Amino acid sequence: MTSTHRRRAKLAITATIAAAAVAIPALAYAGSNASDRTGELRKQVIGGKARNVILLIGDGMGDSEITIARNYQVGANGRLAMDTLPMTGEYTTYAVQKDNPRLPDYVTDSAASGTGWATGHKTYNGAISVLPNGKPVTTILELAKRAGYRTGDVTTAELQDATPAVLASHVVSRDCKGPQSMAACAVNAKENGGAGSIAEQMVALAPDVMLGGGKQYFDQTVQAGRYRGLSVLQQAQVNDYQIATDAAGLAKIRSIRPGKPLLGTFAKNNMDLEWAGPKPTSTGTASSRCTVNTARAASQPHLSDMASKAISLLDKASAGSRKGFFLQIEGASIDKQDHAANPCGQIGETVEFDKAVRAALNYQRSHPDTLVVVTADHGHTSQIVETGSTTKGYTATLRTQDGADMTVSYATADITGSQQHTGTEVRIAAKGPQAANVLGVTNQTDLFATMGRALRLT
Ligand code: MG
Ligand code: ZN
């Protein structure tokens, strides 16, 4: 410590004591960004090529959902891992109308929005990497795989759910998850000469790592073609997949050699929730804390476990190659619990997603040639309203890390229905090569170009 530093430290201590004496709340001091950060930010503007891209998607994780989770978990002036990325912008998320694609559909679903960053094209709600006319468009994961990168797709939803599906399949409706669920996708069905259901197409494409739920669709029977009569899981097995069905099995997987991809399916449907808590009512609730969801199956890995495992397997498999990997990691049930008007469910998933972000940022620190992007697919319902107030919708009040009460309102549907997505722009944050391209207000489809440029795919 130099004498100047010592003097400064002494001054800081004196200031702290003085502050304590006049009882200024700690809130005024923590996490301050009041200094001039121009030089520091300039250093973070890095162009050129990335060896790896890690894309983290919080489904339905608009600014409101982030703020709710931050207030609850680390306090209003605390910072989540996702808040620490140096480049933060906003992007627009609208879909287009199926019958008239020149017109926007202002509120997107996860299929159209995912198709946006996966392919660079706007499409209609429900479309899985097909244009409004039903024509398939190549995805960022397909391009990366063809170019010799390792690839991964991780989610807490069913692997056939829209967000993971857009990377590795092309169907006209997101509902066509398995070979016996093709009612909305006759044109894509194997028996009609199509490429098959989402589950069949994902297994056929064979990203190196796929981790999530959706076992029920892998158990469906293939209806036509070479694998007719087998389940999709058996189709994977005859193609040399390594299969994991629980956290212990996943921990045992040591490597993913080419031709030996990993399929981990840990739940019949979506994976279990991290947290539980009060159900909002039209007259509000007493203030309470969230609790750990005791009904969660311990055999299921957490999202952060799956994220860390995927990163380490893909890193190891690409060691010694100029080309690293493309990996998408989704926190899916932020959205699903916002639909269900379940504030603690939603916050618990956001906090767990943030742990996955921390794992990606830790990797980025030792592998700075990695582009990390953290974003959402669309906004959602939950709003922070005046403490203790009731609204036209349903509210619950939670006691946050600050020791203060926060009232959360859900008011886009009746409590018995499903709360709706909203049409707001959402946060996109990045670190690493090409990260500066998320600054300002961009379009969701621009993310395809940013990632493609980083990996020299486009
Ligand atoms: Mg999703
Ligand atoms: Zn949704």
CATH match of 52-454 with 3.40.720.10: yes
Neighbours of ion ligand 1 (CB under 5 A): 59, 110, 163, 332
The verdict on whether 110 is a catalytic residue reads yes
Ligand nearest to the CA of 340: 2
3-state secondary structure the chain: CCHHHHHHHHHHHHHHHHHHHCCCCHHHCCCCCCCCCHHHHHHHCCCCCCCEEEEEEECCCCHHHHHHHHHHHHCCCCCCHHHHCCEEEEEECCEECCCCCCCEECCCCHHHHHHHHHHCCCCCCCCECECCCCCECCCHHHHHHHCCCEEEEEEEEECCCHHHHHHHCCECCCCCCCCCCCCCCHHHCHHHCCCCCHHHHHHHHCCCEEEEECHHHHCCECCCCCCCCCEHHHHHHHCCCEEECCHHHHHHCCCCCCCCCEEEECCCCCCCCCEECCCCECCCCCCECCEECCCCCCCCCCHHHHHHHHHHHHHHHCCCCCCCEEEEEEECHHHHHHHCCCHHHHHHHHHHHHHHHHHHHHHHHHCCCEEEEEEECCECCCEEECCCCCCCCEEEEEECCCCCEEEEEECCCCCCCCCCCECCCEEEEEECCCHHHHCCEEECCHHHHHHHHHCCCC
Report CA(6)–ligand 2 centroid distance (Å): 54
Report CA(109)–ligand 1 centroid distance (Å): 9
Break the chain into its structural domains and give their ranges. 52-454
Ligand nearest to the CA of 163: 1
Report CA(213)–ligand 1 centroid distance (Å): 12
Report CA(255)–ligand 1 centroid distance (Å): 27
Ligand nearest to the CA of 62: 2
Report CA(418)–ligand 2 centroid distance (Å): 9
Report CA(325)–ligand 2 centroid distance (Å): 28
> Exactly one of 35, 64, 110, 288 is catalytic; which is it?
110
CA distance 177 to 302: 23
Q: What is the pLDDT of residue 23?
A: 46
Report CA(160)–ligand 1 centroid distance (Å): 10
CA distance 250 to 211: 9
Report CA(376)–ligand 1 centroid distance (Å): 9
CA distance 241 to 253: 12
Ligand nearest to the CA of 113: 1
Neighbours of ion ligand 2 (CB under 5 A): 335
Ligand nearest to the CA of 108: 2
Report CA(111)–ligand 2 centroid distance (Å): 10
Report CA(369)–ligand 2 centroid distance (Å): 33
Q: What is the pLDDT of residue 27?
A: 52
Q: What is the pLDDT of residue 32?
A: 64
Q: What is the pLDDT of residue 31?
A: 57
Ligand nearest to the CA of 413: 2
Q: What is the pLDDT of residue 70?
A: 98
Q: What is the pLDDT of residue 348?
A: 98
pLDDT in 10s for each residue of the chain, 458 residues: 344 454 444 444 444 444 444 444 445 444 567 889 999 999 999 999 999 999 999 999 999 999 999 999 999 999 999 999 999 999 999 999 999 999 999 999 999 999 999 999 999 999 999 999 999 999 999 999 999 999 999 999 999 999 999 999 999 999 999 999 999 999 999 999 999 999 999 999 999 999 999 999 999 999 999 999 999 999 999 999 999 999 999 999 999 988 899 999 999 999 999 999 999 999 999 999 999 999 999 999 999 999 999 999 999 999 999 999 999 999 999 999 999 999 999 999 999 999 999 999 999 999 999 999 999 999 999 999 999 899 999 999 999 999 999 999 999 999 999 999 999 999 999 999 999 999 999 999 999 999 999 999 98
